[in-house]
Amino acid sequence: MIIRADAIAPARDTPDRSDALLHRFRAVRALSCALAANLSDADATAQSMPDASPAKWHLAHVTWFFETFVLRDHVRGYVPFDPRWPFLFNSYYDAEGDRLARPSRGLLTRPSLEEVLDYRAHVDAMLAAAWDKLPDAARALVELGCHHEEQHQELLLTDILHLFAQNPLAPALWPATPRRPGATPGAIRWIEGISGPVWIGHDGPGFAFDCEGPRHTVWLQPHALADRVVTNGEWRAFVEDGGYRNAALWLSDGWAWVRENRVEAPLHWRRDAEGAWGERFGLDGQAAMDAAAPVRHVSYYEADAYARWAGARLPTEAEWESAAQDGDPTAGTFLDGPGAVRPLPPPPGTGLRQMFGDVWEWTASAYLAQPGFRAAEGAVGEYNGKFMSGQFVLKGGSCATPRGHVRASYRNFFYPSQRWQFTGVRLAKDL
């Protein structure tokens, strides 16, 4: 995701802000390496499906971003670490030339993980050495690159999770942290939302990606949102009631997807010794399912079918965002470093809970341009605008999202069949 061109040249940094940005850059770069610290070269090279990328590729791609758009374009005399590597680690920037096809990233047995880590260290050192002479536009790209790398930190984890889930040994990325199963959260309570004209979208201080704005007015009909997200226990009732076998609950494309892929339950659910859906697979390995924890790894098709089964619907992006604007986007279950990554049962309380963190929440809104949207000029403008077709918006962040990365206006987006991310469901209904 890329910010607008007019946001790439802010007012000149003060020394304090400049130092803070360099500190943030170093912290983000260190976290990526820490997340991959337990991976072997083989772990970091394998690719489990075309939608996923090897961990090694993620680590190199974000480094390519800093090398290309900051060092190459703003540091006189910079010599690329290896002139062959842009072809390997460019993602989909057509303006940057040809690139390796995405499904072939797992064929990169070389460079090794160690060489990729050397590449990261080289670029980090060169950027730090040039820091005092970087123009404001370059520093704005560093800020953008930090947010970009945080996106890839989440992707690195979810891609490793999908890879490890294919292994009959059920390996864990890190040891499980014992936790008591959560208390039964009780029935969903309905919280009336704002109706009439509301403002949504980003237009203020602080960083935002270009697709989050401009800020604009939408009209909302009377509606209510569930006070929390759907749990594993509630979803298991849907499964046991034949939800995956009832065509009447599904969109036509969704029903075709269920039959073609023989889908019976959320991704990474596993049967226990009695044959029931009683276990789940996560980054901490296979464990008993917590019925009170949020259901995760469900597609838009599944979310829509569940909502219909529950006599409700999915919220629109505007309904969700208008309800979340006064919330704390840093509160909730987020990624704070290496360790257990899993959503938690809802905290006690009244009002809307779990709006941020835990699981990305599907909305019923297509990922399209906000009124007045304009993509940035040049290669960095390619990320968002050209993907506004056939995808749906998700809101709120997840347990694999770095804390502080999201806000109410943040727009994640995936195709309706995709579910390898930490995706979940909050219900809505008309009033």
Residue 156 has pLDDT above 90, yes or no: yes
Question: What rounded mean pLDDT belongs to the chain?
Answer: 93
pLDDT digits (tens, 9 = 90+) for 331-374: 999 999 998 899 999 999 889 999 999 999 999 999 998 998 88
* C-beta separation of 75 from 83 below 8 A: no
* Lowest pLDDT segment from 202-216, 297-311, 378-392: 378-392
Tokens of 426: 């909050």
- Is the per-residue pLDDT at 6 higher than 50? no
pLDDT at residue 17 in the model: 67
The residue range of the domain holding 135 is 5-165
pLDDT of residue 179: 74
66 shares its domain with 209: no
Q: What pLDDT is recorded for position 177?
A: 79
283 in a domain, yes or no? yes
Of 105-119, 227-241, 339-353, 396-410, which gets the smallest average pLDDT? 339-353
Q: Look at 59-63, 196-200, 369-373 and tell me which has the smallest mean pLDDT.
A: 369-373
According to the model, what pLDDT value does residue 95 have? 84
Q: What percent of the chain has pLDDT over 90?
A: 85
Query: 89 or 13, which is more confident?
Result: 89
In this prediction, residue 93 has a pLDDT band, given cuts at 50, 70 and 90, of: confident
Q: Residue 381: pLDDT band by 50, 70, 90 thresholds? A: low
DSSP characters for 144-201? HHHHHHHHHHHHHHHHHHHHHHTSTT---SS-----PPPPP--S--EEE---EEEEES
Same domain, 161 and 200: no
Bridge partner residues of 277 (DSSP): 271
197 and 92, same structural domain? no
Are 316 and 396 found together in one domain? yes
Domain with residue 362: its CATH number is: 3.90.1580.10
Count structural domains, the chain.
Answer: 2
| pTM recorded for the entire structure | 0.93
Q: Is 247's pLDDT higher than 90?
A: yes
